[in-house]
Amino acid sequence: MIVLGAILLVIGLVANISILWTIGIVLVVVGAVLALLGGTGRRVFGRPHWY
């Protein structure tokens, strides 16, 4: 999710498309939060592992 967000950020920046920029930021933030929660051993949305 973080990689997809980064790709959308780059495409949005190069093509000057603001909706891709916004979606990319959201995906990077959500992916980082899920990665942090999963890394600490906490269950994420009831799942012991988040893939």
Question: Rounded to an integer, what distance in angstroms lies between the CA atom of residue 4 and that of residue 10?
Answer: 10
Q: What is the pLDDT of residues 2-48, one digit of tens each?
A: 898 889 889 988 998 889 889 999 999 998 988 888 777 766 666 66
Q: What is the pLDDT of residue 48?
A: 62
Question: Rounded to an integer, what distance in angstroms lies between the CA atom of residue 20 and that of residue 16?
Answer: 9
Q: For residue 2, which of 23, 36, 32 has the smallest C-alpha distance?
A: 32
Kindly report the number of other CB atoms within 10 A of residue 24's CB atom: 20
Q: What is the pLDDT of residue 34?
A: 83
Kindly report the number of other CB atoms within 10 A of residue 5's CB atom: 19
Q: What is the pLDDT of residue 38?
A: 76
pTM of the entire predicted model = 0.74
Q: For residue 1, which of 37, 48, 41 has the smallest C-alpha distance?
A: 37
